[in-house]
Structure 1
Amino acid sequence: MAALIYPPKPRPGDRVAVVSPSAGLPAIFPHVYELGLRRLREEFGLQPVEYPTTRIMGADPRERARDLTAAFADPSITAVLATVGGDDLITVTPYLDDEVLQANPKPYFGYSDNTNVLNHLHRLGMVSYHGGSVLVHLGRPGTLHPLTADSLRAALFGSDWYDLSPAPQWGDEPNDWNDPDCLADEPVMFPGTGWHWQGPARVVEGRTWGGNLEVLHWLLAADRVAPAESLHGSVLLIETSEELPPAVEVYRMLRNLGERGLLAGFPAALIGRAKAWEFGRRLTPPEKAAYAQQQRAAVSRAFAEYAPDAVLVFDVDFGHTDPQLIIPYGGLARVDPLARRISVRY
């Protein structure tokens, strides 16, 4: 695979774009959004710059693409952060001005539905960053999670290798944003369980690709994924959303990647900790544990069939759970089962 470009990094005091290319949830939850902006200013020393659609729900995809293109075009902007995810960014990326993006590479931070943009930038030859939601993570009730904050700071300002760490505590039961008072309380957290390793004891180093599994499936259907051979040797990133897809669908989505010729080309995969609770599906602790185990089994089954020699690491904190470690998308990752170590180069 051809080398991707790491865009120049911002410095404290710089102006950074805050955009909503997916859902304009700052319009509905301004108290959460304002907390995220304040932390961006006070804890990271960056000056957020909003765009016309940042606080608009249901903005026209062409207008959202115009804002995102403008953020890259502005020479005073040194990084671009998405406010949150959603479900229709696949309708926005066709309107992006690729010539502008390629001529003005900048670090882009987002996750979930932002997999559309991460994949798009990857195809343009640009490293981006999986994670860093202004609402969900910068606007976390109580305090910033220290692992999220440390990882985001290193990804924003650094360019060195960074060791990811298993979370000593994690959560997937967020506070209710509909209650402004929720911002005063720390979210419910649970004891960490560490990473779960599977596969051969060999070190793998490669450039990352992947993201939210459901969105990857949409991208495959829309034929917006690079040819399988160009992704061979990559470290696959996969995580699932708050929609809590059943294990059988997780297996089928991965099976489709296998039939596309993708899975066989990944020597390693990092699998995000499965979110197993949502306001509409309040699973009990035993139900949550069963759901997570079923997801692990589904992933293991697909890799056993298509890439039996891949190194798999489960329950890495980079998806829809708390904390959220930032992972370079298209950047380098080193997966070392011998030392039980995962390192990424920001």
Structure 2
Amino acid sequence: MSAPGFLRPPRLPPGSRVAALSLSSGFVTEVMGRYHAGAAQVAGALGWEVVPAPNALRGPEYLYAHPEARADDLHWALTQPDIHGMLSIIGGDDSIRLLPHLRPDLVRAHPKAFLGFSDSTVTLLHFLRAGVMAYHGPALLADLAENAGIRPFVLDGLRRALVQAPQPFDLSPAPEWSEARVDWADAALQETPRPFAPGDGWEWLQGTAPAEGHLVGGCLEVLDMLCGTPGWPAPELWRGAVLALETSEDVPAPTQVGYWLRSYAAQGILAGAAGLMLARPRGYSAEMKAELYAWVRRVLAEAGRPELPVVANVDFGHTSPQLTLPLGGRARLDPGAGRVTVWP
């Protein structure tokens, strides 16, 4: 079940050919060992063949100078009949420069699954604005090239969101998590597992009654860049949505997150929202988390939404392992049951 107006892309079963896209940073050419490890792990675990788009491996200097070439890669992947889906190689900070070159008509005419996070928020919202579901989840160089193999939690989420026949499923807290940095350029480390800490579960910040709506969201820093541009969703796309919001490795202060949320309140987005999911914030201490959650409650009270269901510390975004969220698909938050259900 998807929200009215959103097309669901076809599934990506084993044997699918998936285009790898550098829509932001061209950094991948500096860590090609990591790229090949990710492609091999995707092939082994999911049966997808990863195919680099024509400009994806042309290097950071070229791709920085030619945002139109990055957009061309997206359009190439959409229109090639033997390409069945697309995934982001890695994020960055300037996908917003693609906006003048993007063609929503091609997204709508050739609906295919797109997977990514972080700066891919620009592309994810481009799909939603075109009326096509998109998938907030792992990038090739991140969770898909995870040291010593893709974590089972990631694979389970990908299969339910993108591979298996669509049916509602419950999200669950990750049994472990990590934000440990690894030198991706050191091929000798690829088979050495990173340290992971035991999972610490979700936190329900407020709300008692279940609520349901279509998923919209992404990285808050990128959303802040998009606000006021042609890439910003129209009010009707926000209305009735469950917002899924995450922060990046830039570690924005809790106060800054509160200010961003006040902007959402001023635009009427919080007044019309069905619920809120907050990702586990990368780089936050326990004290910073407590301050963040206090800011969230404060801004929602200011917006007249003290009853809005809010679940925090959810595993999507800039920590690992991460869930795959079907943006444009339905989500149901049930605070009493401690349950989140999505329709991919």
2:160 corresponds in structure 1 to 154
Counterpart Cα distance in 2 of 1:223 and 1:10:
30
Determine if contact 1:228/1:265 at 8 Å carries over to the other structure: no
> Which residue identity lines up with residue 120 of structure 2 in the other structure?
N
1:28 corresponds in structure 2 to 30
Counterpart Cα distance in 1 of 2:188 and 2:321:
21
SS in 2 for 1:178: coil
TM-score between both structures, scaled by the size of structure 2: 0.94
CA RMSD of aligned residues (A): 1.5
1:175 corresponds in structure 2 to 182
SS in 1 for 2:331: strand
1:145 corresponds to which of 148, 151, 172: 151
Alignment of 1:101-140 (within 5 A): 101-140=107-146
Determine if contact 2:107/2:132 at 8 Å carries over to the other structure: no
Determine if contact 1:270/1:312 at 8 Å carries over to the other structure: yes
1:321 corresponds to which of 315, 319, 322: 319
2:235 corresponds in structure 1 to 228
1:64 corresponds in structure 2 to 70
Q: Displacement, 1:161?
A: 1.2
My pick for the range that moved more, 173-182 or 100-109, is 173-182
Counterpart Cα distance in 2 of 1:191 and 1:304:
33
> Per-residue CA shift, 1:205-235, capped at 9, x if unaligned?
1101011011111111325322334421100
> Which residue identity lines up with residue 119 of structure 1 in the other structure?
L
> Per-residue CA shift, 1:49-82, capped at 9, x if unaligned?
1112212214110000001101000111111111
> Which residue identity lines up with residue 89 of structure 1 in the other structure?
S
Counterpart Cα distance in 2 of 1:275 and 1:205:
27
Counterpart Cα distance in 1 of 2:184 and 2:29:
12
Q: Displacement, 1:90?
A: 0.5
My pick for the range that moved more, 225-234 or 36-45, is 225-234
> Which residue identity lines up with residue 40 of structure 2 in the other structure?
R
2:258 corresponds to which of 240, 248, 251: 251
> Which residue identity lines up with residue 142 of structure 1 in the other structure?
A
2:300 corresponds to which of 278, 289, 303: 303
My pick for the range that moved more, 232-241 or 257-266, is 257-266
- Identical-residue share of aligned pairs (%): 36
Q: Which runs of 5+ in 2 are unaligned?
A: none
Determine if contact 2:170/2:339 at 8 Å carries over to the other structure: yes
Counterpart Cα distance in 2 of 1:274 and 1:146:
22
1:338 corresponds to which of 326, 331, 336: 336
Question: CA separation of 1:295/1:53 partners in 2, compared to 1, >3 Å: closer, same or farther?
Answer: farther
1:215 corresponds in structure 2 to 222
Counterpart Cα distance in 2 of 1:145 and 1:224:
33
Determine if contact 1:26/1:33 at 8 Å carries over to the other structure: yes
1:285 corresponds in structure 2 to none
Determine if contact 1:276/1:291 at 8 Å carries over to the other structure: no
Determine if contact 2:129/2:237 at 8 Å carries over to the other structure: no
2:201 corresponds in structure 1 to 194
Counterpart Cα distance in 2 of 1:99 and 1:223:
15
Q: Displacement, 1:188?
A: 1.8
Alignment of 1:233-312 (within 5 A): 233-276=240-283, 288-306=285-303, 307-312=305-310
Q: Which runs of 5+ in 1 are unaligned?
A: 278-287
SS in 1 for 2:73: helix
TM-score between both structures, scaled by the size of structure 1: 0.93
Q: Displacement, 1:197?
A: 0.6
Determine if contact 2:207/2:306 at 8 Å carries over to the other structure: no
2:51 corresponds to which of 41, 46, 49: 49
